[in-house]
Chain A
Amino acid sequence: MRRIGMTVNGSPRTADVEPRELLVYVLREHLGLTGTNVGCDTSSCGACTVLLNGESVKSCTVLGVQADGQEITTIEGLARNGELHPVQQAFHEHHGLQCGYCTPGFVLAAVSLLNENPSPSEAEIREGLEGNLCRCTGYHNIVKAVQAAASS
């Protein structure tokens, strides 16, 4: 067991974690932030995507101890004062989600993508979200949502 300290969604949090524990389990099971989902065991699906110091990472590829001292944003921390983040709002308005299981990962991946490239082309959006899988939407409306968020 090791005690780690992180800033999660703007608040300081600590957790006592096993060295082998993945960040996604630290968030879900120690901190109760179950909005971050687990879709695979091979770092393939991106459902677990969070922002680590502002950049998207698959939280199943990061050990909890590696997050010690870092800043993390999960889907729960994106809305501000009851207002959805523009990317969340765009997913809602453009029907960029169906079952919603992939959505937290996609939203955070898109936030990170737009931070790096505020006006991506359709091809850049598609390439940029390659690490996230959605089985419901065929990606059509996810791409539309990201385009809309970019222009808002």
Chain B
Amino acid sequence: MATAEETVTYVGQGVARKEDAALVTGGAKYIDDLSVPGMLWMAVVRSPLAHARVVSIDLDRAREAEGVVAAFSGDDLAQEWAGGLPCAWPVTEDTKVPDHYPLTTDKARHVGDGIAVVIAETRALAKDAAELVDVELEALPAVTDVEAAAGDGAPILHESFGTNESYTWVLEAGEVGRLFAEADVTVSERYRQQRLIPSAIEPRGVMAAPSPTGDFTVWSATQVPHVLRTALTLVTGIPEARLRIVAPEVGGGFGSKLDIYAEEALCLALARRLGRPVKWVAERSEGYLATIHGRDVVQEIELAATSEGRITAVRTRLLAAMGAYLQLVTPGIPILGAWLYGGCYDIQGYSFTCTGVFTNTTPIDAYRGAGRPEATYAIEHAVDALARRLDKDPVEIRRLNFIKEFPATIASGLEIDSGDFEGALDRGLELLDYDQARREQEERRAASDSKQLGIGFSTYVEMCGLAPSRILGAVRYVAGGWEATTIRCLPTGTVQAIIGTSPHGQGHVTTFSQIVADQLGVPIESVEVIHGDTVVAPLGMDTYGSRSLAVGGVALWNATEKIIAKAQAIVAHQLEVAAEDLEYANGTFTVRGTDRSMTVTDAAFGAWTAHNLPDGMEPGLEETAVYDPPNFSWPGGCHIAVVEVDTDTGDTRLVRYIAVDDVGNVINPTIVDGQVHGGIAQGAAQALFEEAVYDDDGNLANGSMTGYLLPSAAELPSFELDRVVAPSPTNPLGVKGVGETGTIASTAAVMNAVVDALAPLGVSDIDMPASPERVWAAIEEVRA
């Protein structure tokens, strides 16, 4: 029998990914790479106006065009819908949820709103014919700015509501009024979380095919095949049992593929109507109009504090753009941050109010971090403002206020299970060499160097791993937050893990293989992880909210425990000993004090032959576990940005970035680091580069990859990473989510650094993104 020393253990190792072989050779099949015989292409005719009444739609010329099979308006397809595109999170009892059908019939409410479809033999012919559809629109006044939309006299998007306000959601805890009245000092800040475009490099696409038996298969570039199956049943009326959803290789999502989109419903309904497969793939600029955007929130935040800098209460008011309609979780996005405006600080009073407002824009929904980057930005930027007000070091003010004991019930009412905010800060300062960095900053200030340095901190905590189903129910989300895995031991040693999460870059296949291989004592090559097909993996809640390991990984672990328990019963029976007399290590059961042993693989073979099983035991070694977490997952840590600002040109470069995160125990450090890198880049890009801009007429002014500034390698530095580990006590793996931490922490760190660089010049704040123009203008303003 192998001793522990000889056994390879995978958990904790940076195992190179199993996924990569197909991806680095061009063998992977994304949605655009798939076709089926007889396939037609759909093109969507979209509104060029932000707000307009649909007067008429003439499809005749399109129908006569070469290769066109059919063309439909919204009215033509009305009978296809059993329901509208769902909003699964009406956050209050009286949330106004507008009708939202895959094609609009009465009005266009944003540029890109779908009005008609053309279906043709090829992609190019469908696109050409779509140009021939004659849509007469009567332009209406449009409103794209969230504050303007909430104001008196604004054009109303959904007339039956009589208002653009969808909901107001409130959370109050503690004696906020008293704490503010008694405060030595208060700061009151206002921030704008600009609108962002998630920009997964793979555009969205979908293909739906009917079968002669009345079943349908839908392939979609989605993060959520299981949610999509349920939703498409609600939208089309096709029973769930007749729907198979396949997520092929998916090229990134970041929340943008966590949705139920018009084109998914349209391709399926058209496949039913026409009896042929129908496919659509977004062009990039089309996708920028027709795929959800993120953020777009105006925040007011006030802190009450003592003269030493102890924060006693936080009061926040948000005005959050919803866009033209409510997509899957649109209203809930700002609410995902609702508990976090007190950050990782020990405060007593908490008040949060959010009003969701319709605007003539592409709908807002989950973009990496979803509500939590906004919350972290607000508290972390406001804490810096407080530090400047009190002339304190931003590090010391954070240290003074940290939550230090765990579990900790935070002012907003939830319980942080574990953390080490101070340890992360200390390690970050060490990596940075804080004193040296401040000295260099001082020198440049003293010399009035044109290139000034700024050092910015973001000490954060976030809640992810969505989520305990009961809490989701309590906040009116319509689905659960559990996750499922089936482990199947094949008779010859292969272990299949059929998972309910649906990866699109996160490396689940490798990470989950590591866990299974260690638990069952098999080589990692013997583990096959299967996902992304609702027929093969029927149970799951999919991938978003940093939940895959913290929820799905625990389901997987629990399933392996069940396998071990059954295998133990088989082995005890076959070796004719009591189960308690068996020791288990690395896949092998040994009779205590002897060299008699059998492996899990032996038990799997025995379970398959079923020649010699305990009375009443079912043959086969296959177990399913469904796990519902008892709490959210609470990663935290310290991020530090160093920027160099050219005060003559406004050019701002991120020169160093340090991240010390607590994500609990780590299964694959290489993959975890990769998640953090990508998150940092996206959050830093919000600070410095990205903003979706609507012009006065409601056009998306920079709706292409040339207009919308995604950073390239040349705009970013390498990142310096480390970790502190405060294992989560709420799950047996001790893991926490990691997918969103980088994005949640980094925007604040970078912007705090920018303001830190400019504060001595008299600049008190700068709107995001801190573009050269904006930084230059801010400097000019204070110099004038």
Contacts and interface: CB of A to CB of B under 8 A. Distances in A.
Contacts of B283: 41
A133 B504 CA distance: 17
Contact of A40 (B252, B506, B705): B705
A64 interface: no
B678 A138 contact: yes
Given A99-B200, A138-B677, A122 B718 contact: yes
Nearest to B253: A99
A135 B91 CA distance: 31
Most buried by A among B506, B677, B681, B713: B713
Contact of A133 (B23, B712, B718, B719): B712
Interface string B586-603: 000000000000000000
B212 interface: no
Nearest to A84: B24
A63 to B, nearest CB: 15
Main secondary structure of the interface of A (DSSP, over half): loop
Most buried by B among A44, A98, A133: A98
A75 B201 contact: no
A108 B284 CA distance: 22
B299 interface: no
Nearest to B254: A135
Interface in A8-64: 28, 33-42, 44-45, 47
A35 B507 CA distance: 20
B285 interface: yes
Contact of A42 (B26, B674, B704): B704
A44 B199 CA distance: 12
Given A34-B29, A99-B202, A135-B254, A88 B24 contact: yes
A133 B714 CA distance: 10
Most buried by A among B25, B677, B679, B718: B25
Interface stretch (B12-20, B61-69, B456-464, B724-732): B12-20
Interface in A100-152: 100-104, 107, 122, 125-127, 129-144
Contacts of B705: 39-42, 44-45, 133
Contact of A95 (B16, B199, B202): B16
B670 A95 contact: yes
A103 B714 CA distance: 17
B695 interface: no
Nearest to A38: B32
Interface residues of B, number: 55
A68 interface: no
B704 A104 contact: no
Interface in A48-95: 74-76, 78-79, 84, 88, 91-93, 95
Contact of B25 (A41, A88, A136, A140): A88
A93 to B, nearest CB: 6
A44 to B, nearest CB: 4
Interface in B18-43: 19-30, 32-33
A129 B712 contact: yes
Given A35-B25, A38-B32, A138-B680, A99 B20 contact: no
Nearest to A127: B714
B671 interface: yes
B281 to A, nearest CB: 8
B639 to A, nearest CB: 13
A1 B17 CA distance: 44
Given A41-B285, A75-B26, A101-B251, A92 B201 contact: no
A125 B719 CA distance: 16
A22 to B, nearest CB: 11
A138 B681 contact: yes
A137 B706 CA distance: 20
Interface residues of A, number: 54
Given A95-B671, A100-B28, A101-B30, A39 B203 contact: yes
Main secondary structure of the interface of B (DSSP, over half): loop
B252 A135 contact: yes
A142 B249 CA distance: 20
Most buried by A among B28, B249, B670: B28
B492 to A, nearest CB: 25
Contacts, number: 180
B674 A95 contact: yes
B17 A92 contact: yes
Contacts of A84: 24-25
Interface in B662-717: 670-671, 673-674, 677-682, 704-706, 710, 712-714, 716
A128 to B, nearest CB: 8
A48 B165 CA distance: 43
A143 B681 CA distance: 14
Most buried by B among A91, A107, A138: A138
Interface string B476-513: 00000000000000000000000000001111000000
Nearest to B680: A138
Nearest to A79: B25
B98 to A, nearest CB: 30
B403 interface: no
Contacts of A42: 284-285, 704-706
Nearest to A20: B124
Contacts of B28: 35, 100
A104 B26 contact: yes
A130 B713 CA distance: 6
B250 interface: yes
Contacts of A39: 201-203, 284, 705
A95 B680 CA distance: 16
B33 A34 contact: yes
A134 B25 contact: no
A40 B202 CA distance: 9
Contacts of A142: 713
A79 B25 CA distance: 7
Given A42-B706, A133-B712, A92 B254 contact: no
Given A137-B678, A139-B681, A141-B677, A36 B26 contact: yes
B706 A97 contact: no
A114 B269 CA distance: 49
Contacts of B742: 138
Interface in B155-202: 199-202
Nearest to B284: A40
Most buried by A among B23, B250, B252, B506: B23
Contacts of B17: 92, 95
Contacts of B32: 28, 34, 37-38
Contacts of A79: 25
Contact of B674 (A28, A98, A102): A98
A59 to B, nearest CB: 13
Contacts of B252: 98-99, 101, 135-136
B251 A99 contact: yes
A101 B389 CA distance: 47
Contacts of A98: 252, 505-507, 674, 678
B24 A91 contact: yes
A141 B674 contact: yes
Contact of A135 (B30, B201, B249, B718): B201
Contacts of A99: 23, 200-202, 249-252, 504-505
Contacts of A28: 32-33
A90 B265 CA distance: 41
A93 B704 contact: no
Most buried by A among B199, B670, B714: B714
A130 B714 contact: yes
Most buried by A among B27, B32, B674, B679: B674
12 contacts: A28-B32, A40-B284, A44-B284, A45-B705, A76-B25, A95-B671, A98-B507, A103-B23, A135-B252, A138-B678, A140-B716, A143-B713
Given A45-B284, A84-B25, 11 more contacts: A33-B26, A39-B705, A42-B704, A47-B201, A78-B25, A88-B24, A95-B16, A95-B674, A99-B202, A130-B714, A138-B679
- Which 9 pairs between the two chains have the least Cβ-Cβ distance? A35-B26, A101-B251, A100-B23, A99-B505, A138-B681, A98-B505, A44-B705, A75-B26, A138-B677
